[in-house]
Amino acid sequence: MSDLFASYEASSSRLSPAPSSTGSAFDASPFESVPTFADVEPGDNQRWSTWPAVTPSERGPLPWPAWVVTSAGALDTELGILKTGKEADVFLLERAVPDDAAQRTLLAAKRYRGTDHSSFHRSGVYTEGRSTRNTRDTRALAKRSEHGRAVAAAQWSFAEFDALCRMWELGAPVPYPVQVNGTELLMEFVGDANGVAAPRLAAVRSDRAALADLYDQIVDLMRIFAAAGFAHGDLSAYNLLVHDGRVRVIDLPQIVDIIANPQGLDLLHRDCVNICDWFTRRRVERDAEELFAEMLAASYA
C-alpha cells in the first residue's frame, strides 16, 4: 500500500475516548460510524486507484462523465492487453469500488515505453513546431540522458492527453481522456461491458452504403481537426474504431499543427490519401485531392 493511503488510514482511525475538563469520559458514540478506508488490500494485478494521486490539470475535461469513478477507495484491476504498438501498449483496466456495483467502469490504459524500448523512430516529424517549457528537460532530451529518455516517453502521453482533451471539447469522436499519470494515459474504453473492444475499421466488413456512411463520419471528424488547425498525422483504417455504427478515432500522440509544423500540410495530405485509398479499394471511390482541398478550406475558414 502506498504512503498516501497508509497515511489516510492512520488519519481516519477511530477516535478514543478522552477525559473532559470535568473528569468525565468523553462520549464518542456519535463518532462510532467514522468511515474507514476499504477493508481490502490490492491483490494480483491490482492497485489502488491513481485518481487521487494526479493533479486537477491531469484529469479529463469538466464535466466528468457520470461513469468516471473518482472514489479514492476504488481499485484498478488489470484484465489483459488490448493492443501492442510501436511506442506503447494498451491494457484493459477495471476501476471499481469493492461491493459497489454502481461505481465500476472499464478503461483503456495506454502505457508509453521509454525510448530504449520503443520502435517509434519518426517522432521528429511530428514534434517539429512543439516546444518544451522546462529547460532542464530540454537539455536532458538533447543529451539523451536517462532523465531525457523518461521525459521523452512522458511527453508522448501528455501530448496525447492534451490532444484528446482538446478534441473532446470540440466535439470530435475521441475516447474521453480520464487522466494522465507519467507515462500512463487512462481513457474511455471503446467496446462492450464484457471487455470486448470495438473493431478497427480495417476489420469491418459492410456493404457499400454502410461504408459510405462511415466515410462521411471520418470526413466530419477530420473537418473538426482541420478547423482547429490540426491533422491527425497518422490516420488510417487501423486507428479508427467502429462501435455501434459510429466511428471513433484513437492514437493521437502525433497530432500535428498544420501551420507550426513545416510538414503539417504533407501529413494532412497523407491522411487524406490513406483514407481515400482504403475506401476506394472497397469499391467506395473517393478522391484524395478533393478531400485535401476540403480540409484546407476548413483550416482557413
Looking at the annotation, which residues are catalytic?
Answer: 234, 251
The Cα 241–Cα 247 span in angstroms is 6
Q: How does 193-214 read in b/e, with b if 16+ C-beta sit within 10 Å?
A: eeeebbebbeebeeeeeebeeb
Kind and range of the H or E element at 247?
strand 246-249
Kind and range of the H or E element at 274?
helix 264-280
Burial label, 240 (beta-carbon count in 10 A; 0-12, 13-18, 19+): buried
Q: Is the dihedral of CA 282, 285, 290, 294 positive or negative?
A: negative
Give the Cβ contact number of residue 141 at 10 Å: 19
